[in-house]
Structure formats: C-alpha cells, structure tokens
C-alpha cells in the first residue's frame, strides 16, 4: 500500500480595506393624489404623477427613471369613494449622482410628495479588484521573507483563496438620519431639509487573500 505524503506548505495571508463611492441612487417617494389608477398607466393618467415625471425630465432624467411601486388608498371611512385619497409609492433611479440635488429640489417643490428614504448602490466598482491585487502582492512578498528567514526554498503556489471581510450588503441603505420628509412646511428651505445628508456616501469594503506555497 502506497502512502501519499502531502508536500510541505507555507501559508500566508493579507487583507486590505478601501472606500467605495456610491454609483447610483434610488429615491423612494410617496406622492398623494386624488385619483387611483393601476399599473404603468398611472404614470400618464394621474395628474400628480405626470407632473412629477415632467419635472424630472426637465432636470435631465430619462423617462424610465420614474417607476411605480404600488399605491395605498385611504378608506378610513370604511368605503372607497370619490373623496378617498390615494398615495402612490414611486422610485426615482438616478445613475448620474450629480443630479441628486436637482431631483431633491423637484420633490421639495411638489406639494404632495414626501421623500421616505434613499438607497445607494455601491456595486460595480473596481476597488475590490484593486484591493485583491494589493493583497496578493503583499502576501507574495511576505512569503518570500518568511521563506528566507526559515531557510527554505519557496516553490510554486499550491492554493489561492480570496474572500470579502464582513460580507457587506450589496446595496447600502441610509440610516435614520436620512429619513426625512420634503415639502411639509413652506417655512423650511431645501437647505434645511438636506442638512446632514451625505449626497455621495462611501462604504468601506475589505478583502482577504490566502496563499499556500510549496516549500523544500
């Protein structure tokens, strides 16, 4: 019976952190309206939604930037009547973050609109790849130093592993400090509404690289 002997290995690891800027933003808005329409037709049939869409296009957003999530009907009286109010839940997708401030002004100017929160998408950045390359370079240099200190000959790479540290969420949601309402009081300016809000937040991501070298 032949016994297989595992080759001696030298294990090294490195990790690095970096800041990733948001690439897109989604504004979640509640819009009060007088009539209920269902489906995508609401974007053209509802006067309030149509005006919001027109204002967004004037600020440079594409027609597809505004999407309808759903609608809520106020039936506090127990009946759905002509006097019942409707609240549409809409999303505004912004791929050019330079337009965020302009879109917030549009929401502020719409008397029936309330901004509930903003979600920021950090995916698609090359920062993760840059951090991996940095970790691999550091780990390789560390392996050479350790091999020299131990008096062994460093051979070929036997195994490579990479991982994210902390498994960050793909989409970062703003916290309680970003939960604010726009256009509730005329005495409050857009500057007051946006005080303390980061319009281009960054997120810290971490990566780890583990290398195993054959040594002799």
Tens digit of each residue's pLDDT, the chain (216 residues): 455 677 899 999 999 998 888 888 999 999 988 888 877 778 888 888 889 999 999 999 988 899 888 888 776 555 555 556 788 899 999 999 889 989 999 998 888 899 998 998 887 778 888 999 999 999 999 999 999 999 999 999 999 999 888 644 544 444 434 444 444 333 344 444 454 566 667 888 899 999 999 998
The answer on 132 and 101 residing in a single domain is: no
The answer on 109 and 49 residing in a single domain is: yes
Task: Give residues with Cβ within 8 angstroms of 169, minimum separation 6.
Answer: none
Phi, psi of 107 (to 5 degrees): -65, -40
185 part of a folded domain = no
Tokens of 190: 């857009």
Domain count, the chain: 2
The answer on 113 and 49 residing in a single domain is: yes
The answer on 165 and 105 residing in a single domain is: no
Query: Which residues constitute the domain of residue 111?
Result: 24-121
Long-range contacts formed by 114-117: CB under 8 A, 24+ apart = 114/29, 114/30, 114/31, 114/32, 114/181, 114/182, 114/183, 114/184, 115/27, 115/28, 115/29, 115/180, 115/181, 115/182, 116/28, 116/29, 116/30, 116/179, 116/181, 117/28, 117/173, 117/174, 117/178, 117/179
Residue 63 belongs to a domain with what CATH number?
A: 3.30.70.3400
Residue where a domain terminates, one of 121, 155, 183: 121
Q: What is the pTM of this model?
A: 0.63
pLDDT of residue 13: 95
């Amino acid at each position: 019976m032949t016994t297989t002997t595992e080759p001696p290995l030298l294990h090294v690891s490195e990790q690095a952190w970096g800041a990733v800027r948001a690439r897109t933003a989604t504004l979640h808005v509640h819009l009060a309206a007088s009539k209920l329409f269902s489906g995508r037709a609401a974007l053209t049939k509802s006067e309030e939604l149509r005006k919001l869409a027109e204002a967004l296009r004037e600020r440079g957003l594409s027609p597809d930037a505004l999407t309808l999530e759903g609608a809520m009907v106020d039936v506090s009286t127990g009946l759905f009547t002509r006097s019942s109010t409707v609240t549409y839940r809409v999303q505004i997708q912004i791929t050019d973050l330079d337009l965020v401030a302009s879109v917030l002004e549009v929401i502020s100017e719409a008397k029936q609109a309330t901004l509930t929160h903003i979600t920021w998408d950090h995916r698609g950045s090359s920062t993760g790849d840059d951090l991996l390359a940095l970790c691999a370079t550091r780990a390789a240099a560390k392996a050479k130093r350790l091999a020299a200190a131990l008096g062994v000959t460093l051979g070929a790479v036997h195994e490579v592993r990479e991982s994210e540290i902390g498994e960050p969420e793909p989409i970062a949601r703003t916290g309680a400090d970003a939960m604010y309402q726009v256009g509730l009081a005329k005495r409050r300016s857009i500057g007051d509404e946006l005080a303390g809000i980061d319009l281009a937040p960054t997120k810290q991501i971490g990566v780890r690289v583990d290398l195993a070298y054959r040594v002799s």
